[in-house]
Structure 1
């Protein structure tokens, strides 16, 4: 009996593989990683102040902090334009576009803005301000955590957190939303509706909507109940514009979401994720997490990544 209990405990601790190697400047918060088209260099963008830029020769590092994309903050007029959140960078026709959110914790007075660069480097970014996606405390949505994707001939932006969850809007171009016709993609009916940080990617015949569920931070003050901390979940759709379901067939708009990665061993509260097709490791999920051996404060968050494998059409962290 004791040997069975020991085996079960080991299995639970090792339900997920440890994060891949990281060297150099490994702090990150809501990271977004992109490879530069010209030379394959990795650039990582993180929440805070004017969006911290870091670079490396591989996803393993060594990472070097370069400075802030918008050191003087943004020109957006909603939220806290000097402390920007949740960057999301994409490349179109020779230009990189970086979406960001301007808000404050617990508030729906929020706006999504955009900046552009042709190199990704520190000192190269031009701010264009708001894209036309804003919210206030009277809205059922919160316009933070932007994420861009192309579906067919159109492009879309996912955004949102808590309240009525995650939404999608079609874009006119990389600088402007087409209007305020927002489609609800995911909603958590329980508790305080704590989902956010959408990241969508296409794989074979489906679009996969990943998002973070649970309490994101504040771990040094009061730990949430076990299992209520941040974790990464996924739903999928054949169109990418609605009808997302999880592995059990539960609608994503009805509290659906299959866990991809949760706390384990020294890794606590992984989230703020993205997915990258790495030239060495293949498809990986990257994220921030609190390392129990280092500390649980936001200032101590670490950059993590894991290989994704596939089981019956669903992404799995080994």
Structure 2
């Protein structure tokens, strides 16, 4: 394949300006394709499950983070029960285990590219096996008149209460508390949850005033006395024919807050609602555009950053994305890969 001159020039510029402190991803064997991954391990057998954007949410499984990973099917092979455009091509799975229901819960997005007419849905499973998922329908919605976009959800518990982080472009990333009736309905097996987010308690977490406000995929986790907000910033639609300017491709950034509900700042103290954010991982060597990130607490490695990325030697399309992971270490209470 003959690569265009602009691609070769951009590659050379990136290699010349590579930040050498970024490590390459740890090894991955087997089927390492992924897109906007959600990652969780099952305590009963220490098996890892990796969920990915596309169709009814792709599921891969492996005995360790490094693999060998294999495709095991889809969570919702017939698509979502939500009657909405995009219901057969679901995005951005976020999976956690809830001890109060003894179930695994998966939040997912139903939407189309460039639209704020979006829905966050919820499904549950006793063991994460394909076809074991019960789809409960919509939890939170946005319209084209809203300042936010109900996509890329991330469930978190703060001081014992459940919240959803979400957002993409426009006014950025937000957080909304989940109503107490949500868990009651899940315990009772109620289907069709309708809206279970408390919209009037919306919190604005982060925004990017530059360019096309490209910011997405919030992921919040706690370490010691801080809550850390990870986000993807930059262009996520790169390809050999549509290459972003050098440095404008996707990267993973971090902000932190003591209360987890707002007041997030970067390492320089700049508010993350005013385009702040400290780069945690960016393009380097053959690694291009890391994003769609999350953190898992692993028994062997401790806190691990996981994400998707493109390998320049393979291509930049989403069909060629790879699963990446790096162990986090800490410097002055800031995560470093």
Q: TM-score band, normalised by the shorter chain? A: over 0.9
- Which residue of structure 1 lines up, in the alignment, with residue 264 of structure 2? 244
Pick from 21, 33, 46: which aligns with 1:15?
A: 21
Q: Tell me if 1:257 matches 2:277.
A: yes
Q: Tell me the C-alpha RMSD between the 2 structures.
A: 1.3
CA contact (8 A) 1:25 1:63 kept: yes
- Which residue of structure 2 lines up, in the alignment, with residue 180 of structure 1? 199
CA contact (8 A) 2:18 2:283 kept: no
CA contact (8 A) 2:167 2:216 kept: yes
- Which residue of structure 1 lines up, in the alignment, with residue 56 of structure 2? 50
- Which residue of structure 2 lines up, in the alignment, with residue 98 of structure 1? 106
- Which residue of structure 2 lines up, in the alignment, with residue 120 of structure 1? 128
Q: Tell me if 1:205 matches 2:213.
A: no
Matched positions, count: 308
Q: Distance in 2 between matches of 1:237 and 1:21?
A: 32
Q: Which has the higher strand share?
A: 1
- Secondary structure of the residue aligned to 1:252 is coil
Q: Distance in 1 between matches of 2:56 and 2:292?
A: 18
CA contact (8 A) 1:244 1:251 kept: yes
Unaligned runs of 5+ in 2: 1-14, 187-194
- Secondary structure of the residue aligned to 1:299 is helix
Q: Distance in 2 between matches of 1:78 and 1:211?
A: 26
Q: Distance in 2 between matches of 1:56 and 1:178?
A: 34
- Secondary structure of the residue aligned to 2:319 is helix
Cα deviations across residues 75-101 of structure 1 (Å, max 9, x unaligned)?
112331000000000111210000000
Pick from 126, 140, 146: which aligns with 1:139?
A: 146
Shift of 1:283: 1.3
CA contact (8 A) 1:54 1:65 kept: yes
- Which residue of structure 1 lines up, in the alignment, with residue 9 of structure 2? none
Shift of 1:15: 2.6
Pick from 9, 16, 32: which aligns with 2:38?
A: 32
- Which residue of structure 2 lines up, in the alignment, with residue 312 of structure 1? 332
With normalisation by structure 2, the TM-score equals: 0.89
CA contact (8 A) 2:103 2:124 kept: yes
Unaligned runs of 5+ in 1: 1-8
After TM superposition, the structure 1 = structure 2 runs for residues 227-242 of structure 1, keeping only pairs within 5 Å, are: 227-242=247-262
- Secondary structure of the residue aligned to 2:295 is strand
- Secondary structure of the residue aligned to 2:255 is strand
Cα deviations across residues 74-127 of structure 1 (Å, max 9, x unaligned)?
011233100000000011121000000000111111000000001011121111
CA contact (8 A) 2:34 2:323 kept: yes
Q: Tell me if 1:164 matches 2:178.
A: no
- Which residue of structure 2 lines up, in the alignment, with residue 5 of structure 1? none
Q: Distance in 1 between matches of 2:221 and 2:163?
A: 12
With normalisation by structure 1, the TM-score equals: 0.94
Change (3 A) 1:166 1:79: farther
Shift of 1:11: 8.4
Cα deviations across residues 172-231 of structure 1 (Å, max 9, x unaligned)?
235663421221100111111100000100000000000000001232331101111000
